[in-house]
Amino acid sequence: MPDSGHSCIKVAVSACLLGEHVRYDGGHKHDPNITEMMGISFSLVPFCPEVECGLSIPRETMRLEGDPAAPRLMTIQTPDDKTEQMLTYCSKKVRELEAENISAFIFKERSPSCALNAAPLYESKSCAESTRGLFAGEVVRYFPFMPVEEAEPLNNSEIREEFINRVADYYEKGKVF
């Protein structure tokens, strides 16, 4: 069982998982497991790369395209390249979150911005493989030792408990590894 002893520890979370209406269609992807189980253990700090980089709600759907090592973030209908807009936001946002003493990240899966493990990557019209979302990629580069996880695996109590322990450990060690 998680306890409430780490409520001073800040964990950054994709805002749609917390019920904020920030998705492309104005909806959310509230995950009660995150708000209830993680929310009693940590202070949850929302972020939404797509809205915070200046895109609207609602907005055109986007996807990652091209080179897996340097994918482009493209709107699907127009199409319009939002990569530089997003990367500029990413490098500024990680510094802001560092100043806020964030100790972990929880990401929404399959998003071209937030996915940690498997954002679909398109080549022409077909999905060729998968990669990291652009913001998740910048987080992992900037904070190589910080605990990071997607929301879905945290439904598993063992994975969740292990993640909570890693976050507390990271916080207590003052990020010195």
**Residue 148 engages ligand SF4 in binding (rule: CB under 6 A):** no
- 3 state SS of 65: strand
C-alpha dist (Å) from residue 99 to 92, 94, 110: 11, 9, 28
Residue 155 gets which letter from DSSP?
G
**Residue 106 engages ligand SF4 in binding (rule: CB under 6 A):** no
Sign of CA dihedral 36, 143, 136, 120: negative
**Residue 97 engages ligand SF4 in binding (rule: CB under 6 A):** no
Rule CB under 6 A: choose which of 23, 82, 93, 160 binds ligand SF4.
23
CA distance 150 to 107: 5
**Residue 48 engages ligand SF4 in binding (rule: CB under 6 A):** yes
User: Which residue(s) pair with 72 in the sheet?
Assistant: 65
Tell me the window of 3-11, 13-21, 30-38, 162-170 that interacts with ligand SF4 (CB under 6 A): 13-21
Tell me the window of 47-55, 64-72, 86-94, 140-148 that interacts with ligand SF4 (CB under 6 A): 47-55
CA distance 161 to 155: 10
Rule CB under 6 A: choose which of 6, 73, 82, 111 binds ligand SF4.
111
**Residue 134 engages ligand SF4 in binding (rule: CB under 6 A):** no
Give the interface with ligand SF4 as residue ranges (CB under 6 A).
Answer: 14-16, 22-23, 48-50, 108, 111, 113-114
